[in-house]
């Protein structure tokens, strides 16, 4: 596979029965093969996305001492600001060449047993920053639920299998700034090769190229030419749940050519997580004599804490 498949989400949400089934089949096959797809007609308002990118750029242009006021080191960086170079890929020592901000869950108070999450941090210097963060968080969460419904059908589960598992889930909207490179980075890159922790990731645009995906042939594929699409990939939690049937693909963000070191890069991925108490025990339907169970039983929160330790955030 030399490029990631492009799909139309409206075929699933508003299409005919045949179109819906074709979307489910194509999505599942792509997730078994490479773990990434690009999706159009995804329901994310372009104007809100543009406004969030503008506010994100304005935030990262604030003085470091102001950004550091919103640091959440004691909370594993799950809310607010994480400074440059603090996170590294699993099994790498060099810190990634990035700084980032986390928007967390906006609890629906209709939940009879709401999870206890840290509050989102409010950037007083930029009143619209949190406003557009919340708008995009909720829009991406809704799109992510639609994607999970298609995945459930591909796995021959009830279409709404994931709904209650991700309702008020521990999802994160991450705004990332890769600053200009001002000196030889040696072996550090903008984001080292890694797999995402969560169920699925939705990436809405980026200000520059650099994202690459590793296919099964060991080739790095650049993710380009996906205008008006969002990129949606499988994370480790979904790979674990499906006992490796669906593939959490290794990816990275490489440094630009030296003549473009002076150009920053911004991106905004949404990491869709389940509720902390949700189980990640392998689905019985994904276990067989030819594919025996590969993972110990655990909860989503247990797995998350393990991975945050591995990447240096706690």
Structure tokens at 117: 């999450």
- Cβ–Cβ < 8 Å for 233, 196: yes
Q: Give the residue carrying structure tokens 């498949």.
A: 5
In b/e form, how buried is each residue of 93-103, taking b as 16+ CB within 10 angstroms? eebbbbbbbbb
Within its chain, how far is the Cα of 301 from the centroid?
A: 17
Rounded CA separation 280/3 (Å): 30
1 within some domain: no
In a domain, 167, yes or no: yes
Q: Please indicate, yes or no, if residue 143 is contained in any of the structural domains.
A: yes
Full residue range of the structural domain in which residue 282 is found:
6-310
CA-based R_g, the chain, Å: 19
Residue 1's pLDDT is 45
How far apart are the C-alpha atoms of 281 and 298, rounded to whole Å?
Answer: 6
For each successive 10 residues of the chain (314 residues), what is the average pLDDT?
82 97 97 90 91 95 95 81 76 73 92 90 96 96 98 98 96 92 73 88 74 84 75 95 93 82 88 96 95 95 89 70
Query: In this structure, what CATH number is given to the domain that contains residue 101?
Result: 2.60.120.330
State the pLDDT at residue 207: 46
Q: In angstroms, rounded to a whole number, what is the distance separating the alpha carbons of residues 298 and 275?
A: 13
In angstroms, the CA 234 to CA 217 distance is 18
Angle at which helices 127-154 and 46-60 cross, to 10°: 130
Output the pTM of the full model.
0.91
Q: What are phi and psi of 69, to 5 degrees?
A: -65, -20
Q: Give the chain's domain count.
A: 1
């Amino acid at each position: 596979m030399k490029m990631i498949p492009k799909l139309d989400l409206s075929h699933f949400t508003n299409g005919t029965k045949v179109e819906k089934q074709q979307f489910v089949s194509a999505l599942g096959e792509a997730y078994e093969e490479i773990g990434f797809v690009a999706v159009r007609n995804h329901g994310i308002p372009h104007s809100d996305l543009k406004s969030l990118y503008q506010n994100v750029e304005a935030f990262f242009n604030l003085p470091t001492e102001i950004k550091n006021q919103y640091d959440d080191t004691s909370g594993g960086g799950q809310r607010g600001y994480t400074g440059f170079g603090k996170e590294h890929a699993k099994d790498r020592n060099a810190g990634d060449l990035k700084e980032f901000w986390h928007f967390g869950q906006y609890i629906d108070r209709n939940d009879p047993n709401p999870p206890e999450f840290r509050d989102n941090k409010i950037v007083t210097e930029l009143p619209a920053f949190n406003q557009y963060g919340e708008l995009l968080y909720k829009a991406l969460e809704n799109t992510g639920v639609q994607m999970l419904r298609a995945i459930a059908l591909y796995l021959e589960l009830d279409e709404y299998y994931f709904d209650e598992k991700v309702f008020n889930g521990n999802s994160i909207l991450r705004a990332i700034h890769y600053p200009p490179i001002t000196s030889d980075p040696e072996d550090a890159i903008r984001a080292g090769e890694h797999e995402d922790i969560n169920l699925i990731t939705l990436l809405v645009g980026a200000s520059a190229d650099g994202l690459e995906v590793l296919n099964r042939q060991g080739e790095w594929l650049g993710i380009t030419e996906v205008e008006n699409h969002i990129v949606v990939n499988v994370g480790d939690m979904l790979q674990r749940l499906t006992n490796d049937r669906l593939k959490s693909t290794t990816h990275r963000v490489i440094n630009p050519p030296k003549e473009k070191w002076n150009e920053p890069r911004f991106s905004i991925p949404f990491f869709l997580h389940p509720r902390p108490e949700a189980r990640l025990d392998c689905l019985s339907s994904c276990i067989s004599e030819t594919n025996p169970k590969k993972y110990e039983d655990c909860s989503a929160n247990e797995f998350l804490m393990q991975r945050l330790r591995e990447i240096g955030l706690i």
